[in-house]
């Protein structure tokens, strides 16, 4: 029987980030330290999500509602506090935007750094009580030259981000991240507390066979949307229909789309004219990752990363995934314009 080869040279996320830092002679190491704080946040949230049922951490946080109108779960609030504390104590952050805080957090001068972090501390929290995968989504901007960190440093197009990523909490904790040079996936080894490289250089298939959208909104869709999804279910010339997969946690639906291909969408509709998903800490990071993995992300009419938010909780419609699939819906919108 062949000997199981013991890995003695593991590649951790920290090692990968240091490799990236070494490519830039002028790098200060600040981003490396900031990403360590993000990793700490994700590891801490992962343990709380895993123990949630045991510690009675599921359920609502006393009926509180966030600025988006979402009922806050206990884990939304705890995850939010974990991230704010981890990011602030890194000393590398000037501005934070969280789904769970109405206002941007401007870090006090003595702890202020050169980066802005926008994050959704717990994505898919409506699923948490059912034990379905949830996650944390984050995007990082470097503050603008000459700025000492104000809200104008985050009201910027998504293409200005320098890092985007998510950590999905399921059977294991999977971190998927891009520093602007492709996308890598890491799995948390709980025994040593390190994210180990398991999905190097993620490339989304050029076309997939899965569509992922909440069909419960079909009554409210616009014509191009209706025509597009109808064409996937009743394809012309005898092609096979696409499969439908919708988990309802953006992190889980996007993770599957990156790995398997196809399309994920939260369209604008008659009920929500800008869709439901928030630009800064859901659409931008997922669009950044999708493009870095060779896919596309549009609102229907324009590239998601080209938009500039007016307010920190602005929403935008999103169709993201395999290049050919997104271009199909893009062409239908063009045909109807």
From 75, 120, 253, 305, the catalytic residue: 120
Residue labelled with tokens 């080894």: 189
Among the listed residues 120, 194, 291, 330, the single contact to ligand AHG using CB under 6 A: 120
Among the listed residues 39, 79, 114, 125, the single contact to ligand AHG using CB under 6 A: 125
Residues 269, 275: Cα–Cα separation, whole Å: 6
Active site residue 120: yes
Of 85, 103, 87, 105, nearest to 95 (Cα)?
105
Residue 83, φ and ψ in degrees, nearest 5: -70, -45
Residue 99 found at the interface with Mn ion (CB under 5 A): yes
CB distance 298 to 212 below 8 Å: no
Query: Minimum CB separation from ligand AHG for residue 274, in Å?
Result: 13
Of 287, 298, 277, nearest to 228 (Cα)?
298
**Ranges within 171-230 binding ligand AHG (CB under 6 A):** 214
From 123, 253, 325, 330, the catalytic residue: 123
Count of positions (residues) in the chain = 337
Active site residue 129: no
Residue 325 found at the interface with ligand AHG (CB under 6 A): no
Q: Which is nearer to Mn ion, 105 or 197 (CB)?
A: 105
Q: Which is nearer to Mn ion, 123 or 325 (CB)?
A: 123
Q: Which is nearer to ligand AHG, 147 or 217 (CB)?
A: 217
Q: Are strands 134-142 and 163-169 parallel, antiparallel or unpaired?
A: antiparallel
CB distance 300 to 267 below 8 Å: yes
Among the listed residues 70, 101, 222, 227, the single contact to ligand AHG using CB under 6 A: 70
Could you tell which of Mn ion, ligand AHG, none binds residue 330, using a CB distance below 5 to 8 A set by kind? none
Residue 207, φ and ψ in degrees, nearest 5: -145, 150
Query: Minimum CB separation from ligand AHG for residue 73, in Å?
Result: 8
Active site residue 302: no
Residues 277, 318: Cα–Cα separation, whole Å: 8
Residue 89, φ and ψ in degrees, nearest 5: -70, -10
Active site residue 81: no
Residue 80 found at the interface with ligand AHG (CB under 6 A): no
Residue 123 found at the interface with ligand AHG (CB under 6 A): yes
- So which residues are the catalytic ones? 70, 76, 99-100, 120, 122-123, 282
């Amino acid at each position: 029987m062949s000997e199981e080869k013991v890995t003695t040279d593991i590649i951790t996320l920290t090692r990968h980030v240091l490799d990236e830092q070494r490519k830039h002679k002028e790098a200060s190491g600040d981003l490396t330290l900031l990403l360590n704080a993000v990793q700490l946040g994700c590891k801490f949230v992962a343990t709380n999500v895993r123990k949630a049922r045991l510690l009675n951490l599921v359920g609502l946080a006393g009926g509180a509602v966030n600025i988006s109108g979402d009922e806050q779960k206990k884990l939304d609030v705890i995850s939010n506090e974990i991230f704010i504390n981890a990011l602030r104590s890194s000393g590398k952050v000037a501005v934070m935007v969280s789904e769970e805080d109405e206002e941007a957090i401007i870090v006090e001068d003595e702890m202020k750094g050169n980066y802005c972090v926008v994050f959704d501390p717990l994505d898919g929290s409506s699923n948490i009580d059912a034990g379905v995968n949830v996650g944390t989504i984050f995007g990082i901007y470097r503050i603008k030259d000459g700025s000492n960190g104000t809200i104008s440093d985050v009201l910027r197009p998504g293409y200005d981000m320098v890092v985007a990523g998510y950590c999905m909490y399921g059977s294991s904790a999977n971190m998927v991240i891009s520093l602007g040079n492709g996308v890598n996936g890491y799995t948390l080894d709980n025994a040593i507390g390190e994210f180990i490289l398991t999905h190097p250089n993620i490339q989304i298939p050029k076309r997939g066979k899965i569509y992922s959208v909440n069909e419960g909104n079909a009554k409210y869709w616009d014509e191009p949307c209706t025509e597009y999804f109808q064409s996937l279910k009743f394809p012309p010339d005898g092609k096979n229909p696409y499969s439908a997969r919708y988990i309802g946690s953006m992190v889980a639906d996007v993770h599957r789309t990156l790995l398997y291909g196809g399309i994920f969408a939260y369209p604008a509709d008659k009920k929500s004219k800008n869709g439901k998903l928030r630009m800064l800490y859901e659409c931008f990071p997922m669009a950044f990752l999708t493009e870095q993995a060779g896919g596309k992300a549009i609102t229907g009419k324009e590239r998601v990363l080209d938009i500039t938010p007016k307010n920190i909780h602005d929403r935008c419609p999103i169709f993201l995934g395999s290049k050919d699939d997104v271009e199909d819906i893009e062409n239908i919108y063009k045909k109807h314009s």
